[in-house]
């Protein structure tokens, strides 16, 4: 195998610095004792983290996001598992079309989805409702679960299913005892990936949230367009920490490289 | 065959919940928005339901303000795409040539920013590029004068490249995995230089990955909202931030819908055109 020369490694170092610099800077500034965003900081303080927990609007937004992400990821999983099994286990007219439809929210800009749902919600008079916000997120994150479920359902050994079936197992038994346990890593990985995507979503949410249902990324976006202070860095550092924890979990359950790059 | 493969009805039943949701919350809203873009609008009375006009589309075609923003969005997206190719392709090649533990560690490090909120990343860049940010401190330390970086096209391009780079690296990496290392070895043992191997063996085979990465990056950059919103400031508009203004500041929803439809169509047009161009070149190269 060809190895990298010094030029390649120097280039790689620059790319890594570029990719990680904004995240590292945010985490450093979060610990500043001062009132400004200057770096390097003179000391070390947790005062801005304490400040975050005194802001009712940020706390509400955080709980909103957490609930929204958990609910919509669960609903997306509940509809994506049967849909994924239908697409991989049966041959039927319109199969490709259905698959394309369910994956299409990945390609359609979130901005377009946002304004489209705003119009629908306004006509129905449900704009700013939390339940409809959940449904909007389900549409956006279903493709992520569906992709992993399809990959898992194609990847498993079918002979176990066939054996159980020929021994007279009912459909429910077959699903609960054979299929589901075998595709579980894909389902759980899909749930986590959907959770992260819902938790981070800002472009669609900004159109269909009200002050009461505002999510954390929307609150942060609005805050950052109005003022910039170290509290924003503390919130960002907390979001980075939470995302990192979820990613470690995702790596244990499904393999981060498989999620990010696809099956290998 | 087993009964698993029977029953078209069961397949529809299994996908019914998803289908109902997607019909109601994806197809219907998109159709409504297309209809909305033809609705008559008046600043005094709002949207006139049931009466339709082409005025918004004509307004879009006749207004240099809109032209300027569409043109800016186009060149910023094209530049971001080019930079992602120039950085992402060599980086994917370097990554694929690394030893066992480092390879997956660095691959994950390069790609994980993908999962971190884009608002957080934009905020990070505004810290770096601000008037007394680290970049300007470095410029001053090197004896230069501080530059205005934030709220310029430069900041938007940097932020977008940061967000889009993983989308270029992933498809290139995937096509590199399919590359047969024996072909490289054979070329090297026959006396080809490393540069020749790269140019004649590696690059032609990763080309499909580069092309699909180009499509994804251009599409996402052209419709990006949070990065231009936070790093471009109020004055430097891109199409997405313009649509946001039309909806939530001007409250002219039909005009906003027209712009959204135009963005979607132009995006589609550029992508299809690019696909056509590439396909024709492929055919010629293969002598079909």
pLDDT tens for B261-284 read 999 888 888 878 887 877 777 666
Query: Which residue of chain B has the CA closest to A196?
Result: B115
From chain B, pick out residues whose CB is under 8 angstroms from the CB of A135: 21, 25
DSSP label at B147? -
Question: Which B positions 193-232 lie with beta carbon below 8 A of chain A?
Answer: 194, 197, 219-220, 223, 225-226, 229-230
Question: Is B270's Cβ below 8 Å from some Cβ in A?
Answer: no
Could you give the CA distance from residue A98 to residue B12 in angstroms, rounded to a whole number?
10
The answer to whether B197 and B188 are in contact (CB under 8 A) is yes
Give me the residues of B, 45-84, that contact A with CB < 8 A: none
B138 touches chain A (CB under 8 A): no
Q: Which residue of chain B is at minimal alpha-carbon distance from A134?
A: B25
Chain A: nearest CA to B45, how far in angstroms? 16
8 Å CB contact between B125 and A22: yes
Which pLDDT band, with edges at 50, 70 and 90, does B286 fall under?
low
Angle of helix B8-22 relative to helix A56-89, nearest 10 degrees? 160
Alpha-carbon gap: A241 to the closest alpha carbon of chain B (Å): 10
Which of A90, A102, A243 is closest, CB to CB, to B115?
Answer: A243
Question: Are B248 and A207 within 8 A, CB to CB?
Answer: yes
Q: Min CA distance, A55 vs chain B (Å)? A: 18
pLDDT of residue A141: 96
DSSP code per residue over B179-212: S-HHHHHHHHHTT--HHHHIIIIIHHHHHHHHHH
Indicate the average pLDDT of chain A. 89
Asked if B41 reaches chain A (Cβ–Cβ under 8 Å), the answer is: no
ipTM for the predicted complex:
0.88
Across the A:B interface, residue pairs with CB atoms under 8 Å apart total 267
Give the model's pLDDT for residue A137: 97
Closest CA to A152 of A256, A81, A250: A81
Model confidence at B285, pLDDT cuts 50, 70, 90, reads: low
Helix (H, G, I), strand (E, B) or coil at B251: coil
Query: Which pLDDT belongs to residue B275?
Result: 76
Please indicate whether, in this complex, the C-beta atoms of A165 and B4 are within 8 angstroms of each other: yes
Q: Which structure tokens are listed for A206?
A: 């900004």
B120 touches chain A (CB under 8 A): yes
Closest Cβ opposite residue A19 in set B165, B223, B243: B165
Mean pLDDT for the stretch of residues B223-230: 94
Tell me the C-alpha distance between A4 and A154, whole Å. Answer: 36
pTM of the model: 0.89
| Cβ distance of A220 and B123 shorter than 8 Å | yes
The reply to whether residue B26 touches residue A110, judged by beta carbons under 8 angstroms, is: no
Interface test with A, best of B3, B6, B9, B11 (most A CBs within 10 A): B11
pLDDT of residue A75 exceeding 80, the answer is yes
Cβ pair A109:B10 closer than 8 A? no
pLDDT in tens, A138-177: 999 999 999 999 988 888 888 888 888 889 888 888 888 8
- The mean pLDDT value for B144-161 works out to 92
pLDDT above 70 for B3: no
- In contact, B159 and B172? CB cutoff 8 Å: no
Closest CA to A193 of A85, A101, A80, A24: A80
| Residue B86 at interface with chain A, using a CB cutoff of 8 Å | no
Instruction: Give mean pLDDT, residues B232-240.
Output: 89
């Amino acid at each position: 195998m060809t190895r990298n020369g010094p030029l390649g490694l120097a280039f790689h170092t620059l790319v890594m610095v570029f990719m990680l610099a904004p995240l590292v800077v945010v985490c450093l500034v979060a610990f500043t004792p001062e009132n400004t965003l200057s770096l390097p900081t003179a000391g070390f303080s947790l005062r801005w983290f304490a400040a975050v927990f005194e802001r009712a609007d940020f706390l509400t937004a955080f709980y909103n996001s957490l609930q929204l992400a958990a609910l919509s990821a669960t609903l997306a999983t509940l509809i994506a598992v049967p849909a994924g099994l239908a697409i991989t286990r049966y041959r039927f007219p319109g199969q490709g079309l259905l698959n394309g439809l369910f994956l299409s929210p990945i390609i359609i800009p979130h901005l377009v989805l946002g304004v489209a749902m705003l119009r629908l919600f306004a006509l129905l008079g449900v704009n700013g409702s939390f339940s409809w916000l959940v449904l909007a997120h389900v549409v956006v994150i279903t493709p992520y679960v569906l992709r992993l479920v399809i990959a898992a359902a194609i990847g498993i050994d079918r002979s176990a299913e066939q054996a159980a079936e020929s021994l007279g197992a009912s459909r429910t038994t077959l699903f609960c005892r054979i299929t589901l346990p075998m595709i579980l890593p894909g389902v759980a990985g899909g749930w986590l990936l959907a959770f992260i995507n819902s938790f981070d979503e800002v472009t669609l949410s900004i159109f269909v949230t009200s002050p009461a249902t505002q999510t954390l990324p929307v609150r942060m976006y609005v805050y950052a367009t109005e003022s910039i202070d170290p509290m924003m860095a503390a919130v960002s550092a907390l979001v980075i920490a939470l995302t990192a924890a979820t990613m470690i979990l995702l790596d244990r359950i499904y393999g981060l490289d498989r999620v990010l790059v696809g099956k290998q | 065959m087993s009964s698993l493969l029977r029953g078209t009805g069961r397949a529809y039943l299994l996908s019914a919940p998803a289908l109902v949701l997607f019909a109601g919350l994806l197809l219907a809203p998109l159709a409504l928005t297309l209809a909305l873009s033809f609705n008559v609008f008046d600043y005094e009375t709002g949207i006139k339901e049931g009466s339709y006009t082409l005025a918004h589309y004509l307004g879009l075609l006749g207004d240099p303000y809109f032209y300027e923003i569409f043109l800016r969005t186009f060149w910023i997206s094209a530049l971001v795409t080019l930079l992602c190719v120039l950085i992402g392709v060599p980086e994917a090649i370097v990554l694929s040539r690394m030893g066992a533990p480092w390879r997956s560690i660095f691959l994950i490090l390069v790609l994980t920013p993908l999962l971190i909120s884009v608002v957080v990343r934009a905020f990070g860049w505004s810290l770096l590029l601000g008037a007394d940010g680290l970049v300007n401190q470095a410029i001053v330390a090197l004896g230069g004068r501080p530059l205005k970086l934030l709220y310029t096209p430069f900041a938007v391009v940097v932020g977008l490249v940061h967000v889009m780079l993983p989308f270029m690296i992933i498809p290139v990496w995937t096509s590199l995995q399919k590359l047969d290392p024996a072909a490289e070895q054979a070329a090297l043992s026959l006396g080809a230089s490393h540069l020749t191997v790269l140019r004649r063996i590696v690059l032609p085979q990763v080309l499909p990955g580069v092309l699909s990465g180009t499509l994804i990056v251009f599409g996402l950059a052209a419709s990006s909202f949070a990065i231009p919103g936070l790093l471009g400031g109020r004055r430097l508009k891109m199409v997405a931030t313009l649509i946001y203004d039309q909806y939530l500041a001007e409250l002219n929803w039909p005009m906003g819908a027209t712009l959204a439809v135009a963005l979607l169509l132009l995006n589609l047009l550029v992508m299809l055109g690019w696909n056509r161009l590439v396909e024709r070149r492929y055919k010629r190269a293969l002598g079909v």
